[in-house]
A and B are shown apart, each in its own frame.
Chain A
Amino acid sequence: MVMSVSVQSQDFDQADEYQQLIKDNIKDGAVVCFVGLVRDFNQGSDITGLQIEHYPAMTTQSIEKIVEQAINKWPLGRVRVVHRFGTLALGEQIVFVGVTSAHRQAAFQGAEFIMDYLKTQAPFWKKETTKTGQHWVAAKHTDKHAADKW
């Protein structure tokens, strides 16, 4: 198992991340990649941008713990997570989760588990900018329920 986690302000290239997941990897027949983007509408208002704050001393290790839980549940080959912080514009990439496995079911489920847990366990907070000001995003019960199902 190879795990790699990056928490960074700069953007990432999905094509490069994918290449790292498949390079010299002949035992895994399945790759699942997820990318989360800044969208223009959330919780009842028009969004013009996003700021993401995090807890630097805790963020990377909390994501590594989530990945370790996924590894204990499914036979995963490689796992790569990139999560950005700072000021992001509409349409920008926020998060990348890439998972490889011998078979697709483990890859799909492992990636979904990691995203569900990222949303409820990793210390990131989003603040949205709208035309009328800024507000902190409220945690969603649906995200909690999604994580609880595992």
Chain B
Amino acid sequence: MLKVLFFAQLREVLNTDSLELASQATVAELRAVLMTKGEIWKEYLASDSCLVAVNQTMASDKSALKDGDEVAFFPPVTGG
């Protein structure tokens, strides 16, 4: 299983802060599975501005996943 987290605007528009999903080989494959959950998921997860971290480290679509990983999706950061 993968633990999938959503933050900020993404958490609000998807009305989801976390969920568990069957393991996928890569971030791109996980993203494709999530995009089947509805139009709003497709729109926001397809965006270039949707960033991803795997096990709390910034990652990309090519990043490999393994069972038990924590994957977080979020918009560009605005701290500081």
Tell me the complex Cα distance, A4–B33, Å.
40
Q: Which of A61, A95, A125 contacts B78 (CB 8 A)?
A: A125
Tell me the complex Cα distance, A126–B76, Å.
11
CB distance from A12 to the nearest CB of B (A): 15
B8, B49, B76 pick with most chain A CB within 10 angstroms: B8
A75 CB contacts on chain B under 8 angstroms? none
Q: Which of B53, B57, B79 contacts A52 (CB 8 A)?
A: B79
Q: Which of A53, A58, A61, A95 contacts B80 (CB 8 A)?
A: A95
Is A29 interfacial (CB 8 A cutoff)?
Answer: no
Task: State which size class the interface on A falls in.
Answer: 20 to 34
CB distance from A145 to the nearest CB of B (A): 13
**Known pairs A58-B53, A61-B56; A125 contacts B9 (CB<8 A):** yes
Contact A122 B75 (CB under 8 A): no
> Which of chain B's residues 59-80 have a Cβ closer than 8 Å to chain A?
70, 72, 74-80
Tell me the complex Cα distance, A53–B78, Å.
10
B8, B72, B79 pick with most chain A CB within 10 angstroms: B79
CB distance from B7 to the nearest CB of A (A): 6
Tell me the complex Cα distance, A36–B79, Å.
10
Contact A55 B79 (CB under 8 A): no
Contact B56 A118 (CB under 8 A): no
Tell me the complex Cα distance, A125–B7, Å.
8
Q: Which of B72, B74, B79 contacts A83 (CB 8 A)?
A: B79
Is A104 interfacial (CB 8 A cutoff)?
Answer: no
**Known pairs A55-B7, A61-B56, A121-B58; A36 contacts B74 (CB<8 A):** no
Binding site for B on A (CB under 8 A): 36, 52-55, 57-58, 61-62, 83, 94-95, 115, 118-127, 136-139, 143
Binding site for A on B (CB under 8 A): 5, 7-9, 49, 53, 56-58, 70, 72, 74-80
> Could you list some 13 contacts between A and B, CB below 8 A?
A58-B72, A61-B56, A83-B80, A119-B77, A120-B76, A121-B77, A122-B79, A123-B72, A123-B74, A124-B80, A125-B8, A136-B9, A139-B75
